[in-house]
Structure 1
Amino acid sequence: MKLSYKLYPFQPTSIEKKTVGDIIILHGLFGSSKNWVTIAKYLSGFGSVYTVDARNHGDSPHSKEHSIRLMSEDLEELIQDHNIQSPILLGHSMGGLVAMYFDFTHPGFLKELIIQDIAPRSYPFAYDKEIQSMSFPLDAFKSRTEIDAEMAKYLPDTFIRQFLQMSLERMDSGEYRWKLNVQGLNEARRLFEDTFSDAQTSNTKVLFLIGGISEYIDQKDLLLIKNKFSNLQVKTILTGGHYIHFTHQKEYLEILGEEFSLIS
């Protein structure tokens, strides 16, 4: 599948600065490349950055099929189309699962792997409230405020509603639509199950960025990660949750800046 993406060309902050190579950012479930503009602009000071819309998200095509394996194949197609060599993958949540799967199935290909707040294991599809909040007809609504009020009946969390609404588009007709394939994602409820095998390991240099109060990573996960990745570094933002690239952006960028300054 040909994915939609945005390219942020390398913009060195000094004449002497050399590129680290190409960086590819993979967003999480219900997200899009729009969630990563600030991060991408910052990282373009180290190399060219591709922010990618996964299938069924953003401006990428919709499909009835949605899995980590298929998203990894989509990523491989994008890499081949642009002749990208030894990229650095940064993946959050679902994007992190795709990045790890790609690394396990393409040993030695990546320059580095950066994984945000997810482990290489099965996760339940615990997003019924999110799906319900995007499943009512939109044709009768005249504003985002009206839509938000209706969404709040199903999803009280204001932060998550605002996150989802980054994929809410007003068309030329004045009507609203979801750029997300809500029905397709709802039918992909085994998306996070049985993706990884016990035998999969990696020698790729990898940095795990974890939120200290996140519900997505526990102590068993840390042991699993250590067993899977031999060239591992883990950094934790103690007061952060699952969306540390947004809620703790200053600290997040400082960690990335230190990491990318070491990459040659």
Structure 2
Amino acid sequence: MKLNYKVYPFQNSDPTKKSMGDIVILHGLFGSSKNWVTVARFLSEFGQVYAIDQRNHGDSPHSDEHSIPLMADDLETFLNQLNIQNPILLGHSMGGLVAMYFDLMHPGLLRSLIIQDIAPRSYPFAYDNEILSMSFPLSGFNSRTEIDTEMAKYVKDTFIRQFLQMNLEREEDGSYRWKLNVEGINHARRVFDDVFSFDRISNTRTLFLLGGNSEYIKESDLSIMDRFFKNNVKVKIEGGGHYIHFTHQKVFLEKLGNWLQNEFV
């Protein structure tokens, strides 16, 4: 599948700084490249950045099939099409699962791996309310405020609703539509099951950026990370949850930048 993406060319005010190479960002479930503009601009000080819309998200094509292996195949196609070699790969949540799977299936291909708040294991599809909040007919709604009020019946968290509404697009005739393939994602409820049920080891330099209060990371996950990724560093952002690139952006970028500088001096 040919994916939509946005490019952020390498730009650094210090003329002595050289590009580290290409950096590819993979968003999480219900996200898109649109959620990563600030991080992508920050990373463009280190190399050329590609922010991808994964299948069924953003402006990329929709498909009835939605799985981690298929998204890894999409990534391989993308890298080959643009002749990107030895990239730095950053993945959040679902994108992190894709990034880890891709690295384990393509040993030695990546320059380094950055994983945000996810572990290489199975996760339940616990997004019924999010799906419901995007499944009611949008005809008859005249504003985002009206849609938000209806969505609040299913998702109480304002932050999550605003995150989901980044996928809401207004047509020329004034009507609204979801850019997400909501139905396709809803039918892929086993997308996070048994992805890492194999024995493979990666020696890729890997950074795990974790939310200190995240519900996605258990203490037992740390040893799982070590089992698959032998050359890893774990950095916890205290007080942070699953969306630390939003909620704790300043410290997130600081930790990310420090690691990149230390890794590639």
Under a length normalisation based on structure 2, what TM-score does the superposition of the two structures give?
0.99
The letter of the residue matching 2:145 is T
> Does the 8 A contact of 1:20 with 1:260 survive in 2?
no
Q: What residue number does 1:121 align with?
A: 121
SS at match of 1:113: strand
1:148-183 deviation per Cα after TM superposition (whole angstroms, max 9, x unaligned): 000001111111000000000001110000000000
CA–CA distance in 2 between the matches of 1:9 and 1:259? 21
In the alignment, structure 1 residue 167 sits paired with structure 2 residue 167 = yes
CA–CA distance in 2 between the matches of 1:168 and 1:46? 32
List structure 1 segments (4+ residues) > 6 angstroms apart after TM superposition: none
Q: How does 1:1-264 map to 2 (within 5 A)?
A: 1-264=1-264
> Does the 8 A contact of 1:20 with 1:263 survive in 2?
no
User: Runs of 5+ in structure 2 lacking a partner?
Assistant: none
Query: 1:197 deviation in Å?
Result: 2.1
CA–CA distance in 2 between the matches of 1:132 and 1:177? 15
The letter of the residue matching 2:221 is D
The letter of the residue matching 1:92 is H
Query: 1:227 deviation in Å?
Result: 1.4
CA–CA distance in 2 between the matches of 1:120 and 1:13? 37
Query: 1:228 deviation in Å?
Result: 1.3
CA–CA distance in 1 between the matches of 2:154 and 2:255? 36
The letter of the residue matching 1:40 is A
CA–CA distance in 2 between the matches of 1:76 and 1:222? 28
Q: CA RMSD in A?
A: 0.7
CA–CA distance in 2 between the matches of 1:25 and 1:78? 12
SS at match of 1:202: coil
1:20-39 deviation per Cα after TM superposition (whole angstroms, max 9, x unaligned): 00000000000000000000
Query: 1:198 deviation in Å?
Result: 4.0
1:74-95 deviation per Cα after TM superposition (whole angstroms, max 9, x unaligned): 0000000010010000000000
Give me the identity figure in percent: 67
Aligned length: 264
CA–CA distance in 2 between the matches of 1:254 and 1:79? 28
